[in-house]
Each structure stands twice: as C-alpha cells, then as structure tokens.
Amino acid sequence: ARYHPRAGHKDQLRMAPNIRSTQQGIDPMTSGSIPHPQGKKGRILSGIQPTGNLHLGNYLGAIRNWAAMQTDYQCLFCIVDMHAITIWQEPAELARATREVAAGYIAAGLDPATNTLFVQSHVPAHAQLAWIFNCVARMGWLNRMTQFKDKAGKNREAASSGLYVYPNLMAADILVYKATHVPVGEDQKQHLELARDIAQKFNNDYGIELFPLPEPVIQGPGMRVMSLRDGTKKMSKSDPSAYSRINMTDSEDDIAQKIRKATTDPEPLPGTVEGLENRPEASNLLNIYAALTDRTLAEVLVETEGWQFSQFKTRLTEAAVGVLGPITAEMQRLMADPAEIDSILKRGADSANEIASAVLKEAYSAVGFLPSDR
Ligand code: AMP
Ligand code: TRP
C-alpha cells in the first residue's frame, strides 16, 4: 500500500509493511549523492549513549564486534548525547561521559583514522532530519515501542517528549548516512524496524527512492553479559551497585576484587553446557571467560570441568586483566588528554557532516523545502 499524504486516516495509522530483501530496488552503494567507498560491503552506523560508565557488556556485546567489522564496512560510530538527554543528565557528567565513550571506542580498537568517530550533537543534520521524521512516523507506531514503556515507567505523564520521539531521532541517525547495516543489541531491534518503516513511508509519500532500508546486525548472538551480583539481570551502566559490573576504566585491583566478590553457587563447575542449566551466575562467568578467550562455552568447559569457583575466578581475573588491561591504560591516557579526544571528534564531525548535509539536502528538496543556498 502506498502511503499518500491524502490517504485516509486509517491508512496512515497502519504499520508500513516491512520489505526485507528487496531494498525497494535501491542500490545503497550508488543511490543519491554519496556512494560508498569501493570494495566495502556497506556502510555501518551505530552509537552508544554517554550515560554512566562503559562496562564489559558494552565491550563484549558491542564495541569489540564493531572493531571486527571495521575493515569490511565503511563505519561511522556515534556518541549519542542527544539521546542521552531524553532522561535528565547532569551537564558536567554528560560532558565527561561523552569523552569517556570516545576514549573507549579508540582504546578498544576503533581506528579514528579509518572510521568516523563523532558526537551526535556536532552534526546538526541528525536533529533536522529527525524533525521531518517526527512528521513521517505515526503516533500509533511510537505507541508500540517497548523501550519507551520501560523507560517511562508508571508515570508516563512525567516522561520527556524527547523520550517518546527518541526512535525518530535514532532513525535519523541511521538514515542521514544512508547506512545499510546497523549493529545493535537485541533490545534495539524494534527501533530498527521503526527506522525501516520510516524510510519506506518517506520514500512512498514523496515518491523518491532516497533511503535504503537499514539491516539490523544483531550482535554476537547470546552475548549478553549479566550482572556479577545477579546472573539473571543484565550488566548495566545504571545498576546502582558498583560490584555488579566491570568498568572499562577499572584497575587490575578493581577487576580482581569485583570478580572475587561475584555471586556464585556452591557446586563445582560442570563439564557440559547442559550442566549449567539453572546456574545463571556460573553461566555468566563462564560465558564471559569464553568471550574473553575467544572460545565457545563448550570449549572452556573442557578446561574448567570440576574446578571450584575460587580456582576459576583466579583464571577469569587473569583473562579479564589480560584483555582489559591495555584498553584501560589507553583510556586513561586519552582521558588525561581531552584535547586529543576533542580533536579526533572534531575530525570525525567534519567527515560525518559532509555525508549528512548532502543527504539532508536531498530530503529537504524531496519534502518541498525551498533551497536556502540560492
Ligand atoms: P547501553 O549501555 O544500554 O547504552 O548499550 C550500548 C551498547 O552496548 C548496545 O549495543 C548494547 O546492546 C550493548 N550492551 C549493553 N549492555 C550489555 C550487556 N550487559 N551485554 C551485552 N551487550 C550490552
Ligand atoms: N538507542 C541505542 C541504545 O540505546 C543508541 C542509538 C542511538 C543507536 N542512535 C543509534 C544505535 C543509531 C544504533 C544506531 O543503545
């Protein structure tokens, strides 16, 4: 069904159908003004909010996977400060956390010379395109977003209107670069679907093949790092307990102490994956160990079968310190030199702006906004 501006009210409320494989005939490599570089499989855009501290879950569940894709794709990695303020952020802390995420990206191996690392608010086209998308997306679509329901909680009247239209801004983040692939965690899949629906409705309404439909790349299936205190809860930036998570800036001593204090059960470690059933804490620690040593769970269980937790925790600490140590050291070096971070982010913003302003211009023209540069 074509979504025409004059179509009936009902039509406009219906969710646009998802077209999965055809990309509507748009070749994202050549469409519009910004072809992708030769030899790349597509263009990636992803982002993390600068709230709280970056932790092991962000590293194993997101940044490490991005680093693995950086040679095959043209990559833009964003620090989404505009998303962060949909919930109140102390200004000084927001600024600190923004530089910390940048330092985390770089220290974890995202090369600022070959990837575009930038801050969302430095590229005004995100907000400008988001306004258009506020007028494309339907209230009915946003009403279905489970993250809004979770974050707004019981008192929806008190949630910011930014939190409600957050998915439209996220769609703009992606589509303003005509990104083809978006690596995200499972929890962001619904927002990606919405971005696809927005792209499709925009293209249909304005009769232009402007936006390719971005594909979600769901990160390392199953790689959910859980809290060290409670193996049934996700490791999270916002958990009040510092012992629940290993931060990317933690010292060796911090890491050792947090692992030592991690919740366990009284049994020795099993030799098979089935043996981990109903043992969430053991599963979590073993999954972390497997990820840190680049092995499968089954492989590490061969090594650790029959071990007591004390022995295993010593080994896990060595593995965590081995992987995180160099990252932490580089983050600390960068955090001590904010001018270096800022200049990397400035370069990133310049190259992001180049792509984004060209796409915004195409969108403005499609909508019928008069050109401002004549
Ligand atoms: P957040 O910390 O929720 O802003 O998420 C930033 C990125 O890190 C997203 O791609 C998440 O999917 C990923 N992430 C956050 N927490 C975890 C976790 N505990 N395990 C795995 N991935 C995570
Ligand atoms: N909503 C994402 C999260 O909470 C962050 C985000 C904002 C994002 N814009 C994005 C992720 C664009 C991927 C692409 O984790």
- The string of DSSP codes covering 17-74 is PP--SSGGG--TTTSTT-PPPTT-S-EEEEEE---S--BHHHIIIIIHHHHHHTTTSE
Catalytic residue status for 346 = no
Least confident of 6-15, 105-114, 120-129, 143-152: 6-15
Amino acid at 128: Q
Ligand 1, residues at Cβ distance < 6 Å = 48-49, 57-58, 61-62, 184-185, 223-225, 234-235, 237
Which position has the higher pLDDT, 372 or 359? Answer: 359
Percent of all residues in the chain with a pLDDT value above 90, rounded to a whole number: 84
Stretch 318-342: mean pLDDT, rounded?
96
pLDDT in tens, 270-325: 999 999 999 999 999 999 999 999 999 999 999 999 999 999 999 999 999 999 99
Report which of 211, 203, 223, 204 is spatially closest to residue 43, judged by C-alpha positions: 211
Identified catalytic residue from 40, 233, 234, 361: 234
User: Is residue 37 exposed (0-12), middle (13-18) or buried (19+ Cβ within 10 Å)?
Assistant: exposed
Q: Which two tokens stand for residue 174?
A: 């992606």
Question: Residue 38 has what pLDDT?
Answer: 73
Hey, whose CA ends up nearest to atom 13 of ligand 2? 46
Catalytic residue status for 237 = yes
Instruction: Dihedral sign for Cα 114, 115, 116, 118, please.
Output: negative
Catalytic residue status for 41 = no
Check whether 222 has a pLDDT greater than 80: no
CA distance 201 to 194: 10
| Pocket test residue of 191, 198, 238 for ligand 2, highest count of atoms within 8 A of CB | 191
Question: Residue 12 has what pLDDT?
Answer: 43
Stretch 175-189: mean pLDDT, rounded?
94
User: Is residue 316 exposed (0-12), middle (13-18) or buried (19+ Cβ within 10 Å)?
Assistant: buried
Helix, strand, coil content of the chain in percent (nearest 5): 55, 5, 40
Check whether 7 has a pLDDT greater than 80: no
- Residue 181 per-residue DSSP state: E
Check whether 130 has a pLDDT greater than 80: yes
Residue 173 near ligand 2, beta carbon < 6 Å: yes
Q: Is 97 helix (H, G, I), strand (E, B) or coil?
A: helix
Hey, whose CA ends up nearest to atom 9 of ligand 2? 170
Check whether 143 has a pLDDT greater than 80: yes
- Residue 371 per-residue DSSP state: P
| Pocket test residue of 44, 55, 78 for ligand 2, highest count of atoms within 8 A of CB | 78
Report which of 1, 3, 16, 116 is spatially closest to residue 66, judged by C-alpha positions: 116
Identified catalytic residue from 41, 151, 233, 361: 151
Ligand 2 centroid – CA 46 distance (Å): 6
Buried b (16+ CB within 10 A) or exposed e, 327-338: bbebbeebbeee
Stretch 123-137: mean pLDDT, rounded?
98
Stretch 204-213: mean pLDDT, rounded?
98
Ligand 2 centroid – CA 48 distance (Å): 6
| Pocket test residue of 63, 80, 194, 198 for ligand 2, highest count of atoms within 8 A of CB | 80
Q: Among all ligands shown, which has an atom nearest to the Cα of 54?
A: 1
Q: Which two tokens stand for residue 277?
A: 């059933």
pTM to 2 decimal places: 0.90
Note the maximum CA span of the chain: 75
Check whether 2 has a pLDDT greater than 60: no
Q: Is 278 helix (H, G, I), strand (E, B) or coil?
A: coil
Question: Residue 21 has what pLDDT?
Answer: 34
